[in-house]
Structure 1
Amino acid sequence: MKQTTALLGLRAGLFISVLAAWWWLTASEILPPFFFGEPAKVAQQLYDWFASGSVFAHLGVTLLETFLALLIGSVAGAGMGLWLALSPLSALLLDPYIKAANAMPRVVLAPIFAVWFGLGMASKVALGFTLVFFVVFFNVYQGVREVDPRLLANTRMLGASRRQLMRHVYLPSAAGWLFSSMHNAVGMAFVGAVVGEYLGSAQGMGYLILQAEGAFDINAVIAGIVVLTGCALGLDWLVGRAERRVLHWHPSAKAGA
């Protein structure tokens, strides 16, 4: 308990130190406020947005796009990873295509998705999906492939069917890797949503930040980044809570409890 309190104190101290350094550097104009913003004005912008409620509509759109991209991408990535890990022939057949798709800078697909799906929510979810999918896919694929062969052999010797192997061996192994990958996938889902909004949208946090950028309002840009960062941390915390609940038997879940 004392260690946790001390750690929280150190983290808070580091955060306050960074804010103080930022304030001092911009107040003394060592860093030009026009380019680096000012903490007080960023805080004022955040207050204005939330007090007036103007930010909620934009934030709701971005969060929905992010959640859908994370959900669909995680389910598809986990399903594909599980299938290919258990189907060596299919994995060998699709290997070059998967590697080529993963090597592609998928952000450049945003204009294509805008043409295919329009400037609405679907194009942002599609971009987020492509970013989340591969993060989850490779982790689940690796997790299933790394199941201990001795465990499989012993389980088969005890008469376990393929269905029982899937339920009691493969899925528990994949679950740990799935949740681990989802912590990274949260950020990818936000990237997909915000980049898509940058390229074409009439609402969302990406649109709000783009408008502030066009007006050379660096404080509003930073305020938008702060909001997105807070939401990403909140979503990551929810993933962590789900991980501890689902994988309560796993050592990593117990350590994070």
Structure 2
Amino acid sequence: MLNLIRPNQKNLRIWQVLVLVAFFAVWHFATRDPQAAFFFGEPIKVMARIWQWFTVGSGTLEVGFMDSTWFTLNFPAEIYPHLLVTLTETLLAFGIGTLLGLACGLWLALSPLTSAILDPYIKAANSMPRVILAPIFAMWFGLGIWSKVALAVTLVFFIVFFNVYQGVKEVSPVVLANARMLGASQRQLLRQVYLPSATSWVFSSLHTSVGLAFVGAIVGEYLGSARGVGYLILQAEGTFDINTVFAGILVLTAFALVLDTVVGMIERRLMKWQPKSGETEKM
């Protein structure tokens, strides 16, 4: 009987659900006191707020560029236009930041002299608190989605950049020497040696970058926006509606997990050649 309830790979999902249920149970009983509920919210009211967001009312979103409107989207509930704006900002920042980090990481890893010249400036840029750039981006790009995308890109870029750079640097000199001895060109080395070496490092960074892309989008919406889940959270904070604040946090967390799951599925598909954990030791 003890073996059946002991955590293992077969009942892993059950234990994960039990942890979630236990968390909400503790939260529920801890906030039965009105004073505690004021600061920490009540899970039942939080869930009710999420349900209202997705089922009650209606919403519209004008799609266009600059001052021109191309068309208007109509939604069956209040949350959808805000959620679409936040997810659009997140996905754009995630994609742009990943591509820029991948390109710059490969470039500097394969150009030691350029890397040495730019090294102090890259470290200085990475050490800068990127949140302080939000007002500057708002001045440059306005209060639309692009100021939020720019802020989130700065968060995603450095995570991907340093992982790609390190992944290329970790390529075995023996493998490089053997490939060159067989007549591999620089382009073939890039495709057959450097990129496969950096791929595992890239996907490792992407799991972190998903959360940072959401952080950048939400912080940007906090500082100036008329749409987005961050805007809803800010409005709720202004009226001390802690239940709506936690509702926004839970919605963002759920969609961040969905995006992270998609990244994991892509990783498993592209990394089939990589031995699973523990297989190398068995061989």
Question: TM-score normalised by the shorter chain: which range applies?
Answer: over 0.9
- The unaligned stretches of length 5 or more in structure 2 are 57-76
1:163 is displaced (CA, Å) by 1.3
Cα displacement (A) at 1:224 = 0.1
C-alpha separation in 2, matches of 1:5 and 1:213: 42
In 1, the alpha carbon distance for the partners of 2:50 and 2:278 equals: 36
Q: Is the CA contact 1:244–1:254 (under 8 Å) kept in the aligned structure 2?
A: no
Aligned partner of residue 225 in structure 2, secondary structure: coil
Question: Which residue, out of 156, 165, 174, partners 1:141?
Answer: 165
Cα distance change, pair 253–240 in 1 and its aligned pair in 2 (3 A): farther
Which deviates further from its counterpart, 240-249 or 221-230? 240-249
- Which amino acid in structure 2 is aligned with residue 174 of structure 1? A
Alpha-carbon distance, 1:28 to partner: 4.1
Residue 45 (structure 2) pairs with residue 41 (structure 1): yes
TM-score w.r.t. the length of structure 1 is: 0.95
Scaled by the length of structure 2, the TM-score of the pair is 0.87
Q: 1:21 aligns with which of 21, 26, 32?
A: 26
CA shift for structure 1 position 254: 11
Percent identity (aligned): 60
State the Cα deviation string for residues 229-251 of structure 1 (Å, max 9, x = none). Answer: 00100000011111111222122
Aligned counterparts of 2:202 and 2:159: Cα–Cα separation in 1: 9
- CA distance in 2 between counterparts of 1:163 and 1:14 reads 49
Taking the aligned partners of 1:248 and 1:63, their CA distance within structure 2 comes to: 29
Is 1:195 paired with 2:204? Answer: no
Structure 1 gap ranges (5+): none
How big is each residue's C-alpha offset from its partner over 1:111-165, in whole Å with a ceiling of 9 and x where there is no partner? 1100111000110000000000000000000000000111111111111111111
Matches within 5 A, 1:70-109: 70-109=94-133
Whole-angstrom distance in 2 between the partners of 1:21 and 1:252: 37
Distance 1:65 1:129 in 2: 10
Structure 1 residue identity aligned to 2:159: V
Between Structure 1 and Structure 2, which shows a larger proportion of strand residues? Answer: 2
Q: Secondary structure at the match of 2:247?
A: helix
Q: In 2, Cα distance between the equivalents of 1:8 and 1:28?
A: 32
Amino acid at match of 2:41: G
If asked which structure has higher relative contact order (CA below 8 Å, sep 6+), I would say 1
Structure number with bigger Rg: 2
Q: Which runs of 4+ in 1 moved over 4 A?
A: 252-255
